[in-house]
Chains A and B, each alone.
Chain A
Amino acid sequence: MRHRSRGLGLPIPALLLCTALAVTACGAQSSTSDSGDGGSGGGELSAVPGFDPDAGTIAVGNLVALSGPISATAREQLLGQQAWFDKVNADGGIAGEYQIELITADNQYDAQVTVQAYQQIKDQVVMLSGILGTPSVKALVPILNRDEAVGVPSNQAAELRDEPALLPVFPSYQTNVVNAVAYLNEQDPSLKDAVYCELGYDSEWGDAVEEGLTFATEQLGTTVTSVQRYAPLDTSVTAQVQELKQAGCEVVAFSGAVNNTPAMVAAATQLDFKPQWIAEFIANSTAFSGTPIAQYLQENVLFTGPGADLSDTSIEGIKVLKDSLGDTDLTLQHVYGYIQAVAVTTLLEKAVEEGDLSGPGLREALTTMDKIDFQGLNGDLTLGEPEDRVLPQATTIYEYDPATPYGLSAVAPQYQAEETNPDF
């Protein structure tokens, strides 16, 4: 009796597979083909993804939250970047030859979307001028390393400062808290014996603020008494604020964005809790102007961040921004994006000077850079080899001022505590 196979016959799939492989193998690269490193080799810049020498354009990409609860502030960052790029382009462009183009992609403040957005634009840009969100930055780091690419993180995470793929430019969350606590004690020495606490995001941001506050209180010879956490999308923090009140907190470091501030103020007002709060500038919004929130902020909150006196047009960066924005009120988010853009053009100038705009070329240029002139808007940033980098140790301290359109008025531009931690 002859046996007839009823299963999957081998010849047919084998034939189909072979056909598929032989006919369609055009998407894989041959290992013997040229890699095309984008280097100059002879002093003239070669074309690389994002750089078209014939058109005279260099494109950079920004992965930013164009949608979601922080989209309004994220868009201000983009406008700030565009203001500086427009200025550079008007002056002739990078090295007086190449115009900068800004390409944006919405990362929705989500790490997985960020990876997809990066894949979408990476072949159109030479580098990333912004990556919004610490989780997004961390998700991209291994991919940027594999692609030998460079990006500017839109965050202040100290632990990312020595990543070869990143060009960090801002003082860290930790440094901001350290400087704010030092400033408060300088103004009122009796706060040395105050009760220090934190109301923070249940995330790496909250961890960073706690780390900074711990360092600052150690310098004062005291400790952090109470740490309360909340989820980023919590609409009420009454229970946490109640805990802080019961602990007798007198100085509270707050890590929260603009969408968290109303909940904090509502809980504190409801409980008649009025400590000295320390917050990042991103906790403020022009939308608070004229509301009861503004009154509480004015009486109880000190803000920290990069930047300077936003009304001082003698500062080059402020003047450029105001000229570019026209009737739009200048905010620290504009300044934030502007500072990133300055770092980007400085790096691009260096890479053009060294004759290589490819990813490896930009990384090489990054290691040969020393300082960046932020036009009075940011502290000194020490670059060089990744392990030698030191983030700015100075922070501008702001108070809430209802008389100004944005609400924040600088009381101590580029203030630096006597004792800072270079690891922050």
Chain B
Amino acid sequence: MATDVSTPTGSTRAAPERKVPPLRLVGSRGGRLGILLFVVLVIAVPLNMTSTYWLGILNAAGVAAIAAVGLNVLTGYAGQLSLGHAFFVGLGAFVAQWVGGIHGLPMLLWLPAAGIAAALVGAAVAPFALRLRGPYLMIVSLALVFIGIYVARNLKSITGGNEGTIVEARATLGPIDFEELTLGTLVFAREQGLFILIWATLGLVLLVVANVMRTRGGRAMQAVRDHDVAAEVLGVRMMRTQTNAFVLASALGGIAGGLLAVNLEYIRPDSFNIDLSVQYLAIIVIGGLASLWGPVLGAVFVTLVPVFVDQFSTSLPFMAQGGNAGLTTTDLSLILYGAMIVVFLLAEPKGLVATLGRLRRAVLPSAGQTGRPPRTTHREDTA
């Protein structure tokens, strides 16, 4: 017998007297303001930024954030460790090229197709993979990456095999071509148009995930993460709940893959390897597990570290210049990147989101003492 964990026992009897808040897409005034600010930023940032380099960096961060939001559903909210996320991102990338590039269909079809294909494969894999947990699931999900690369290498007609393929899918939405965006006499660079597309998609993805986590299914995921036996006792169907999380995570990975393909314009099977999966895992750990904005902060942080290192590299004496010996920006970035993961795991396991929250409370002592409790939930919070 299944019990709705989202509705406290006895609540139906009290309903006629109690004023039940209507279910809305955005639950608070602050949330609505946040969305408005996000929309303004999505349009204002590319308009104010002429550097295609910085826009390219932010576009890469946006795509990584979408993929990481997906992994966060599975790992952060549902508590399932996975190293197979790169497989779903790669699947989405090649499906986007197949639907949008080879068949020439518009983005309205190839982007959903990338997500749906990844979701279907996720649904097919989940019942087998989710019989395992912890490190065992991680190993099985890792196998997906290797199988995916092997299959992709041998599907030359779609993937280009070892050589990869140039992506011909176009980011068009009806008359709007995000790759050659124009507004009156204003002509946007490709990176500017893609910034709007990628970050608008990220906004929608965040909205969807935030609302899914408020539903019965979303709360069931968190219940399973916090105590699977207790959740089952309360009537949560564990396998179905975990499968839902797996499918949603896969779908978001697929969508990220489609956007990555268009952004990069060239994809090859070997790009979707274990390193990419580890990178997504690092993003959600650094950003903050089981928090809505954690993957976004983590993606921006992880993407920007090497960029800032590069900016200051010429003034550091131990850095290599030209072909001479010394530390490269990549070496230093990797050192910092690894150090950050260790620091966050030891000193701030709740990630950048918690750090920012602490800073906010330090600046505004009243913040956090009133109103709703923070949305970030962790096993430690509920244990």
A residues contacting B by CB (< 8 A) are: 6-8, 12-13, 16-17, 19-21, 24-32, 66-68, 71, 75-79, 82, 102, 104, 106, 108, 111-112, 115-116, 119-120, 122-123, 134-135, 138-139, 141-143, 146, 202-204, 206-207
Contact = CB atoms under 8 A, between A and B. Distances in A.
B102 to A, nearest CB: 16
B271 A111 contact: yes
Contacts of B271: 111-112, 135
Contact of A67 (B35, B323, B328): B328
Contacts of A28: 47, 183, 186-189, 192
A6 B331 CA distance: 52
B360 interface: no
Nearest to B181: A28
Given A13-B39, A16-B40, A68-B330, A111 B50 contact: no
Contacts of A27: 46-50, 192
Given A27-B46, A76-B323, A138-B166, A106 B328 contact: yes
A141 B265 CA distance: 10
B interface secondary structure, majority = helix
B329 interface: yes
A108 B35 CA distance: 37
Contacts of B163: 134-135, 138, 203-204, 207
Nearest to B183: A28
A141 B39 contact: no
A320 B166 CA distance: 40
B345 to A, nearest CB: 25
B30 interface: no
A13 B24 contact: no
Contact of B266 (A67, A76, A138): A138
A26 B60 contact: no
A71 B44 CA distance: 40
B195 to A, nearest CB: 10
Contact of A26 (B48, B264, B322, B334): B48
Contacts of A25: 47, 186
A180 to B, nearest CB: 23
Contacts of A134: 163
B172 interface: no
Contacts of A12: 36
A110 to B, nearest CB: 8
List the 6 shortest-distance A-B pairs measured between CB atoms, nearest first.
A78-B323, A67-B330, A139-B266, A119-B53, A28-B186, A75-B323
Given A17-B40, A203-B162, A119 B56 contact: yes
A89 B270 CA distance: 41
B3 interface: no
A68 B52 CA distance: 26
A276 to B, nearest CB: 26
26 contacts: A13-B36, A13-B39, A19-B40, A21-B43, A26-B50, A28-B189, A30-B186, A31-B187, A32-B185, A75-B324, A78-B322, A111-B266, A111-B271, A115-B266, A116-B57, A116-B60, A119-B52, A120-B310, A135-B164, A138-B164, A138-B166, A138-B266, A139-B264, A141-B266, A142-B266, A202-B153
A310 to B, nearest CB: 18
Interface string B239-266: 0000000000000000000000000111
A112 B182 CA distance: 27
B323 A108 contact: no
A25 B185 CA distance: 11
Contacts of A19: 40
Interface of B: 22, 24-26, 32, 35-36, 39-40, 43-44, 46-50, 52-53, 56-57, 60, 153, 162-164, 166, 182-183, 185-192, 264-266, 268, 270-271, 310, 320, 322-325, 328-331, 334
B266 A79 contact: no
Contacts, number: 145
B164 A26 contact: no
Contacts of B268: 111, 135, 138
A82 B322 contact: yes
Given A78-B322, A104-B322, 20 more contacts: A16-B36, A26-B50, A27-B192, A28-B183, A29-B189, A30-B185, A31-B182, A31-B185, A67-B330, A67-B334, A68-B330, A71-B328, A78-B323, A106-B328, A106-B330, A112-B271, A119-B52, A119-B191, A143-B265, A207-B163
Contact of B53 (A66, A120, A202, A203): A120
Contacts of B50: 26-27
Contacts of A21: 43, 47, 183
Q: Which of B35, B182, B320, B322 has the most CB of A within 10 A?
A: B322
Nearest to A136: B266
Contact of A142 (B32, B182, B265, B322): B265
A341 to B, nearest CB: 12
A111 to B, nearest CB: 6
Contact of A17 (B39, B186, B188, B270): B39
Contacts of A6: 22, 24
Contacts of B182: 31
A32 B331 CA distance: 45
A404 B362 CA distance: 67
A287 B309 CA distance: 31
Contacts of A141: 166, 266
Given A115-B264, A203-B162, A31 B186 contact: yes
A30 B50 CA distance: 13
Contacts of A13: 36, 39
A303 B182 CA distance: 54
A67 B331 contact: yes
A25 B183 CA distance: 10
Nearest to A77: B323
A32 B184 CA distance: 11
A13 B323 CA distance: 52
A185 B35 CA distance: 72
Nearest to B56: A119
A138 B160 CA distance: 12
Contact of B190 (A66, A106, A146): A146
Contacts of B191: 119
Contacts of A142: 166, 265-266
B330 A8 contact: no
A29 B46 CA distance: 12
Contact of A204 (B26, B43, B162): B162
B53 A116 contact: yes
A66 B192 contact: no
A207 B162 contact: yes
Nearest to B313: A106
Nearest to A67: B330
Contacts of B187: 28-31
A231 to B, nearest CB: 9
B330 A66 contact: yes
B181 to A, nearest CB: 8
A138 B48 CA distance: 31
Nearest to A231: B270
A20 B53 contact: no
B330 A108 contact: yes
Contacts of A104: 322-323
A102 B324 CA distance: 13
B56 A115 contact: yes
A123 B189 CA distance: 14
